[in-house]
Amino acid sequence: MFEWLGWVATAIFAASYFCKRPDALRALQALAALLWIGYGAIIGAPPVIVANAVVAALAIFSAWRERATAPSD
Distance CA 35, CA 9 (A): 6
pTM (2 d.p.)? 0.84
Query: What is the residue extent of each domain of the chain?
Result: 3-69
Helices (H), ranges, 2-45: 3-15, 22-43
pLDDT in tens, 8-46: 999 999 999 999 998 899 999 999 999 999 999 999 999
pLDDT in tens, 54-67: 999 998 998 888 77
